[in-house]
Chain A
Amino acid sequence: MPSQYFIFGIVRVCCVVSLASSVYADVDFNRDVRPILADNCFECHGPDAESREADLRLDALEEAMGWVIEPGKSNESSLIERLLSDAPDAVMPPPHSKRRPTKKQIQILKDWIDQGAEYERHWAFAAPITRALPKTVNANWPRNPIDSFVASHLDAESLKPRHDAEPRVLARRLSLALTGLPILPNEGNAFADDFQRNPDQAISSLVDKLLASEAYGEHRAWYWMDAARYADTNGYQADGHRVMWPWRDWLIRNLNANLPFDKLTEQMLAGDLMIPKEHQHWQSADWIADDRSRDYLIATGFLRNHRYDTGSGTIPAESKFENAADRMETVATVWMGMTMLCARCHTHKYDPIENREYYELLSFFDNVREAGSALKLASHPYIHTPTQKEQARLKQLQQATDAADAAMLAAESSIAEAQQKWESKVADVVRVPLEEGSVTRSAPKTRVTRGLKFHYAETPLHLDGNTSIEKPNDAIALCAGNRRWTISFWFRPESDKGAAIFSSVEEPERYRQGIQADWVNGKIRVRHVCRWVNSYIEFESAQTLRVGKWHHVTFRCDGRMQGIAYSASIDGSDDAMLCTHPVTNDSADNAGKAKLVLGGSPFLANFSGDLRDLRFYDRELNVSEVRSLADARTINEIARVPVNNRTHAERETLRLAFLEDDSLPAYLRELYNARIAAHAKLDEAIFQSPTTMVMKEGRTKHTQIRLAGVFNSLGDKVATDTPDFLPPLPQEHPNRLALAHWLTHPDHPLTARVAVNRIWQTLWGRGFTDSPENFGTQTGEPLHAELLDWLATEYVRLGWDTKALIKLIVTSRTYRQSSDASEAMWASDPANRHLARGPRFRLPVHTVRDQALFLSGLLDNTVGGPPVIIDDVIGQNGKIVKLPYEMSNHRRTLYTFWKRNSPHPMLAVFDVADRNQCEVRTMRTNTPLQALVTLNEPGFAASAKDLSERAQQAAQTEPEQLGWLWHACTGRIPSDEELRQLQTIRKDYLEIADSNQSQAWTALCNVLLNLDATMTLE
């Protein structure tokens, strides 16, 4: 907290006796003065012009100088006069603010003014500079530059570093810090031997080994998952299941591969914009076969891990705005250590961020092709991301389809020859003139006939806005959520009045089961209603359509009874239709028994315009088929396009029409059918593979300011830009890729500092600042600011090599110190801000649990894959959620199925981040409920039992067994006294357990797993 910083900042200001009544010498503006002004004055005299009083700014002091501040003359400065005033109407801050600077703080302000009132930018807003290494008294102590900074600081503070930690303790510390798992006694002993011979060498090789283990990536992934608000459900009220674990696996893979931080940034924020040109034309739900492109896309899942609202009450525009705001605020927090939230409604009170700039930054993130309402499993845009194993099978199936395709290709000349003959025949069909507004077109009967079950309005049907035509229910009966089907039609509205083009509505007052195709607000809307109001699929055209123009629409379902089963297109494009209501429930297999009504429905006016070629298929059409149907011309018209002038779509359309024509020769039909079968198999396998939500840029549009942060109170349009107080965006197209480059530019004052601070926090239990999410003006300069800056510049110099940076930190002499300290030292520096001892902090819960599993030998160290369920997941209706995941209490905690609204109770009581939003701060509390978890939770209980068995196998004699256990849990060989205590415990427990050996041992191990030393990184 800033106030604590402030207190520590003061420690550095030495008291001196001065002629000029100065109490504090060398007052530093950023370290000592700015936090006082920020806390007490900025609310009314800060960056926010709206709330600024008396036009006085104290965050930017140019104007204040010579006005309320007279440099060198505190007694002539009205700033001080007002602070010291007794008059209620003159004193600052005003009494109603409840703010009151202390006498000490006012003295510091006085001294600062008397010393010349020099000021500079907020420490974190100026780029870090590489400083020369400071000199230290004991030149032998430092091992690397970190130690020089620390030793020099300790010298200045008259503090001494602690001695090196006992090697076994150090080995455990390194292992837990780097991999989240401890090491076993034999490894600890081996390390101790190596350490005796050559400490630096021993540490270096252990660290290399740990950094190379897969557990490293798993451990670090946890912190990224917190920051990325990763969860296996969508959050909000419905909190439905989603699939994002392929992103988590991407993360683990790339952390282990040590992808440099700037590359990681680039890919997570803009991977979709980095795909090679030839792979850029993908659509939502595609399988991207190219490994690199697929990985780039998966990376952008970072920006899709936010919660996502869905359900009957969801307003898509609000939801989209919240999604974009979440993306932007997450990026600002993780990379810049800036909290933008305040600027959503008004200009920031403390930091130089204007209301407009919030929306300029938001503008990088609000252009995603998303619907504004979450689907189950995957919300658009998403891709299929098969596992390694599935990829192998997909490759096989791909080979089969390739072979089938090749067989067709081999027959190409005979097909082409036959097709040519056929084309000349169809070309004889009399052409019907095609004009916009003409209604005399006939339906193109000869294309996409496979699976066509019902066909209405074969000749254009003019609907006059008054009449409607009833048809039987048969066609609608096809359209249940558990079947594959496609509806395809052309329509042309005559007016912009909302109307029903066709519908089938059973129980209009209640559940409304059926299909509806409506023309509303200048958009086409299709619905498959399973149970109004909370179970229906709805798609709407992204754009408004012109009255008087023909449009083609399809509505398709692949039979999986979930949101992602459905797709819809307009004029051949799926991207141009947005899913605006994706939620279905167990009523999804209900097709409804109502008749099909052309031109009307119970809810809207009758349609005025034309409808033609309304088709119902009992299969889901593919994209080429949809495109073929969306081609307004008849086959004979397309056939008349000279062969060399034909577009790809035209060639496809003609070929499809020919292959499905009755006149196709039998041997070709056989090849064709084989090919269809092979493709169907491949499609099915792709569909069965997991998905990952990714970023896909939509059409460029202008972001608008939302007044008071309310999604539908639109203000001025803004450009896409970064905040003015930071370096300018490079001269690139202002998109997420440019933003990624801007963030990782060496001149950026925040990114490297913020990243280094977070890494430091994971290794030391706390960062240089306690507010890793906020490096703004409210956060005072940290005690070890110079070290932080050096590390930041070093990180950049190392090419953002994270493993190298971590190695540098953990191989320092500073990190090697023993973590114990004198009573006085704990009292004077409980948080270890001076770094005069090694790290000591309670392990995060995932490590507490993983450690118990590891020590007991129960840990299943499979890396990656779908999440696992520890206990049944209970839904909001109190019932068990059926999930396609394995039950296991033995995988590492990061693989635990994470229900966003109710994380596993064992984790919930243990300070896990609330994955509803980005979290980079570490919370570490100490509660009785945590004790109940580690004492009684079945997994911990099982670990105690297996640990006891392992100990008994590890050694022959009881003292050896007890020694092994103690060492395994605490990282230390027990003292004689401790061993005696353990022996007494062992004897007593056997008695309490009525000589039941297993119970006595288990209870003993339960004790050991619950020791403070075991649960703590020491």
Chain B
Amino acid sequence: MGTNNQDNVSLSRRGILNGLGGVMATGALSQLLCRPAAEAAAVPANPAGITGFPEFPAKAKRVIYLFQAGGPSQIDLFDHKPLLEKWDGKDLPKSVMGGVKFTGMVNGQSRFPVVASRWKFARHGKCGAWVSELMPEFAKVVDDVCFIKSMTTTQVDHDAAITYIQTGHQIAGRPTIGAWAAYGLGSECDDLPAFVALRTKEGGSFLIDRHWGSGFLPSRYQGIRIGGSDREPVQYLSNPESISDAMRRRTIADIAALNRDHRQRVGDPEIDTRIAQFEMAARMQMSVPELADFSDEPAHILDLYGPDVREPGTYAYNALMARRLAERGVRFVQLFQGGWDQHSNLPKQIEQYSAYSDRANAALIQDLKQRGMLDDTLVIWGGEFGRTVFCQGKLTKMSFGREHHHLGFTMWMAGAGVKPGFTYGQTDEWSFHTVENPVPVHDMNATVLHQLGIDHKHLTYRLQGRDFRLTDLAGDVVKEILS
């Protein structure tokens, strides 16, 4: 369905629904949808959540998770360590390093020289949070942000670490955090999926479909990828060449009519679900092009996100898309940015990737705030791990690399009942070991679910005789960061 088709643009969503009116039926299940019953099909296309969820009043109705794949360097962005200046170029003391294992990549490296950050740090906002000059715009919104400087993970390699933070287990096969949220809470929206993944086009990364998959949960909970570098915002959204929009509307109606007759004949209620899903597909054909059409955004909003916002697939574009999805009731939006895996030539790359995202991160927070959405939208920024204080490869003033580091790294959150202008936890003066209030991945995930009104221990799925959950057998809500 072309976005510039006049016929299409003139039709409001409700208009489409009315057009399909003959197809609709009222049904007992319609109350499961948050939308008015009149707009709902007999069987909801989007799954309802688990009865009784959320279990307590949720601070966050939805989540926008800005995932920074590759492992951004906390030392160069947020975790200010003045001591390192004195040690720059000198070997990291053995006492700090201990017997910590790294990947095979630094095997054969005989020296581990400290690299101090090449970027100036300053305190920002009323809260006085440290942010380096790499993130100048973001530095302006720190009073809305809660930093967690004591993140730890157990995994040192990208796929395992991404899989771990996304699913709670390093081995592939479990549902990702967004799929869990969709499974537990269902959707607030009947023309878009409950969990949407947005992948930016910059930056080689380790991101694959599985990283927003539903694992052993039914596939309807998986993250649906919208945008990115695909030709269409959603796979197979456009009609085949020979089928016009008018024809598609008729075919959907006829499929529904014939299926209804068949339902009468054979009695299988699953046919109702099929009818509903075809209607949802047709609604997505309408809603997604409208979603991807930023022409209704005022200029000042577009300016807020920066010039990249006009180019599909950029970080800025996806940040605005995330807000638009959140507005439409999508439960969990996860933006995936790659490129942070800076083993060599870190200075050039970190400047590049900070520039891609700095303004958009700030814009997203401001934009949500001015709409009053920051109160019930949880924004999360972070990657699968951080980077080492020591240099990987050759060290010169402006050329060096950093290895993966899992013992202490930084994430930040904003909105939805998380303490604004707050910093939690800290690493030692080398940004190597976490020395105060460590937050393991399971605790972070438990906290996210908690803000969504879910006790992470109760969100389980029975498989192979065992109740599985996002936090595996661990996880404590980090109450200290909640207001």
Contacts and interface: CB of A to CB of B under 8 A. Distances in A.
Interface in B217-234: 218-220, 222, 224, 229, 234
A771 B204 CA distance: 39
Given A901-B208, A932-B237, A1006-B243, A774 B104 contact: no
A102 interface: no
Nearest to B464: A339
Contact of B219 (A322, A917, A927, A931): A927
Contact of B173 (A3, A917, A1012): A917
B3 interface: no
Interface stretch (A108-116, A289-297, A308-316, A799-807): A308-316
Contact of B103 (A312, A350, A906): A312
Given A914-B215, A926-B270, A905 B247 contact: no
A928 B267 contact: no
A778 B262 CA distance: 38
Interface stretch (A250-258, A823-831, A956-964): A823-831
Nearest to A899: B208
Interface in B229-246: 229, 234-244, 246
Interface residues of B, number: 82
Given A509-B393, A878-B229, A923-B218, A928 B465 contact: no
A999 B248 CA distance: 12
Interface in B362-410: 393-394, 404
A1002 B343 CA distance: 54
Interface in B275-318: 275, 277-278, 280-281, 283-285
B255 interface: yes
B281 A2 contact: no
A533 B158 CA distance: 15
A849 interface: no
Interface string A788-823: 000000000000000000000000000000011111
A926 B274 contact: yes
B86 interface: no
B253 to A, nearest CB: 10
B387 to A, nearest CB: 14
> Interface centre among A351, A925, A989, by most B CB within 10 Å?
A925
A929 B244 contact: no
Contacts of B229: 878
B284 to A, nearest CB: 6
B240 A936 contact: yes
Contacts of A1018: 266
A14 to B, nearest CB: 28
B205 A876 contact: yes
Contacts of B466: 339, 342, 349-350, 778
Given A878-B204, A937-B236, A1011-B258, A823 B464 contact: no
B56 interface: no
Given A509-B393, A928-B45, A993-B247, A313 B104 contact: yes
A826 B465 CA distance: 27
B251 A1007 contact: yes
A1012 B464 contact: no
A936 B237 contact: yes
A855 interface: no
B22 interface: no
A938 interface: yes
A902 B209 contact: yes
A385 B204 CA distance: 35
Nearest to B202: A878
A236 B159 contact: yes
B235 A929 contact: yes
Contact of B235 (A821, A905, A911, A1003): A905
Contact of A237 (B105, B110, B158, B394): B158
B208 A938 contact: no
A233 to B, nearest CB: 11
A315 B105 CA distance: 10
A603 B110 contact: yes
B172 A819 contact: no
B385 to A, nearest CB: 12
Nearest to A933: B236
Nearest to B101: A315
A407 interface: no
B224 A510 contact: no
Given A3-B462, A98-B457, A945-B242, A927 B262 contact: no
Contact of B266 (A339, A603, A819): A819
Interface in A931-979: 931-933, 935-938, 941, 944-945, 978
A826 B268 CA distance: 6
A249 interface: no
Interface of B: 45, 103-105, 108, 110, 156-159, 171-173, 193, 201, 204-210, 213, 215, 218-220, 222, 224, 229, 234-244, 246-248, 250-251, 254-255, 257-259, 261-263, 265-271, 273-275, 277-278, 280-281, 283-285, 343-344, 393-394, 404, 457-458, 462, 464-466
Closest 7 CB pairs of A and B: A778-B465, A941-B240, A313-B103, A931-B281, A509-B394, A928-B280, A820-B266
Given A820-B266, A931-B277, A1018-B266, 17 more contacts: A313-B104, A509-B393, A510-B393, A820-B265, A842-B270, A876-B205, A928-B284, A929-B224, A932-B234, A932-B237, A938-B240, A998-B242, A1002-B240, A1010-B251, A1010-B255, A1010-B278, A1015-B274
27 contacts: A2-B465, A312-B103, A603-B108, A774-B464, A778-B466, A819-B266, A876-B205, A878-B229, A902-B208, A902-B209, A908-B219, A916-B173, A917-B172, A925-B219, A926-B274, A928-B280, A931-B278, A932-B234, A932-B235, A932-B285, A935-B239, A941-B240, A941-B243, A989-B250, A992-B247, A993-B247, A1011-B255
